[in-house]
Amino acid sequence: MPALTHLDVVTALDYNVAREIITSFIRNYVSEAGARGAVVGLSGGVDSTVTAALAVEALGRDRVLAVFAPHGAVPSEDERDAVAVARQLGVSLRRVDLAPALESLAACIPDFSREDRVAAGNLAVRVRMAVLYYYANKYGMLILGTSDRSELLLGYFTKYGDGAADVMPIAGLYKVQVKEMARRLGFERIASKPSSPRLWPGHSAEAELGAPYEIIDPILFTLYDVGVPPEIVRREYGPIADLVLARARANAHKLRPPPHPDLTPARRPITPARSTSVQL
C-alpha cells in the first residue's frame, strides 16, 4: 500500500461519533465510580484542552475542576492559554506553583542536578500529578489523563507522572486527530501550538522525537491500526520508521503494570493439618 499522510489519519475518524463515544465513556465511568466529577491538569496545550472540553460536555462545567500547576520551564504563554480555556469552558481553575516544592526536593536530594534535564523534568511532572490527586481525593473526583494515542504508543510520557490517571479519555486519538478535534471544539489557536511536554526551557516534542507528529502519526497508524508489517512500513517510510519503531519498543514497558516473578515452582503442596475442635 502507498505511504499514508497525516491527512489520511485525520480523515480516518468520524469526529461526531468519536465525540459522543468519549463523552459517554466519561459520564458513565464517573457515574459508576460514584465520583462527584473530574479533575483535569490544564496545561494550555491541545491534549488537556480537548480532554477538559469533552469532560465539560460529559459532566457539566460545575463537575470539572481544572488545575494549572507550572514550574520553571513553563512559559507565561501557557498560563494565559490555560486561563483562557478555563474561562471559555466556564470551569473552576486552581493555580498551584510547583517551584517551591521542587526547590525543597532539590535541596533534599544529595546529588540533585538541573543538568539532568530528563530526571529533573520528570520529577516536576510527578509532583504535579501528586497535586492533581490531592484535589481528586479532596473533592471525591477522578483524574482524567490527557495522554493521546501517539504519546502512549511512543512511550512519550512520564511514567507515574502524566501517565498516571484514573481514566484516559483521548487515548484512542492520534495527536493529529486531537488537533482536529480541538478545531472542531473551537480551539483553533491551541490546535496550532507546537507540542511540548515543557520538561525544560525550550523543550520541543518535534526536536526530541526526531520528527513532527504529522510524519510520526501516519507511521504509527499504519503499524497499529492498519496492521502493516514493520518491514513494509520501513520500506514505505524510510529511516524515520526505524526511529519510531525503536522508541515504541524501548518504551513498551510503560504501558504494562509492574511485573513480578512467578513463584509457582516454589509453592509446596498443602497438607491439611489435623483438624482440632475450636470453641467459638
The per-residue pLDDT for range 174-206, each reduced to its tens digit, is: 999 999 999 999 999 999 998 888 888 888 888
In this predicted model, what pLDDT tens digit does every residue of 128-164 receive, in sequence order? 999 999 999 999 999 999 999 999 999 999 999 999 9
Q: Please check whether residue 3 lies inside any domain of the structure.
A: no
Q: How would residue 73 be classed by pLDDT, with cut points 50, 70 and 90?
A: confident
Partners of residue 38 on adjacent β-strands: 64, 142
Q: How would residue 43 be classed by pLDDT, with cut points 50, 70 and 90?
A: very high
Q: Please check whether residue 99 lies inside any domain of the structure.
A: yes
Q: Which amino acid is at 246?
A: A
For residue 45, what are the domain limits?
14-200
pLDDT exceeds cutoff 80 at 95 = yes
pLDDT exceeds cutoff 90 at 31 = yes
Q: Please check whether residue 129 lies inside any domain of the structure.
A: yes
Q: Please check whether residue 161 lies inside any domain of the structure.
A: yes
Which is more confidently placed, 177 or 276? Answer: 177
pLDDT exceeds cutoff 80 at 112 = yes
Distance from chain centroid for Cα 242? 24
Q: Please check whether residue 179 lies inside any domain of the structure.
A: yes
Q: Please check whether residue 219 lies inside any domain of the structure.
A: no
Average pLDDT over residues 261-277: 83
pLDDT exceeds cutoff 90 at 273 = no
What is the tally of structural domains in the chain?
1
Q: How would residue 278 be classed by pLDDT, with cut points 50, 70 and 90?
A: low
d(CA 176, CA 256): 25
As a whole number, the mean pLDDT across the chain is 94
Q: What is the pLDDT of residue 204?
A: 84
Q: Please check whether residue 75 lies inside any domain of the structure.
A: yes
Q: Please check whether residue 108 lies inside any domain of the structure.
A: yes
CATH of the domain at 189: 3.40.50.620
Q: What is the pLDDT of residue 75?
A: 86
pTM assigned to the model: 0.92
3-state SS record for the chain: CCCCCHHHHHCCCCHHHHHHHHHHHHHHHHHHCCCCCEEEECCCCHHHHHHHHHHHHHHCHHHEEEEECCCCCCCHHHHHHHHHHHHHHCCEEEECCCHHHHHHHHHHCCCCCCCCHHHHHHHHHHHHHHHHHHHHHHHCCEEECCCCHHHHHHCCCCCCCCCCCCECCCCCCCHHHHHHHHHHCCCHHHHCCCCCCCCCCCCCHHHHHCCCHHHHHHHHHHHHHHCCCHHHHHHHHCHHHHHHHHHHHHCHHHHCCCCCCCCHHHCCCCCCCCCCCCCC
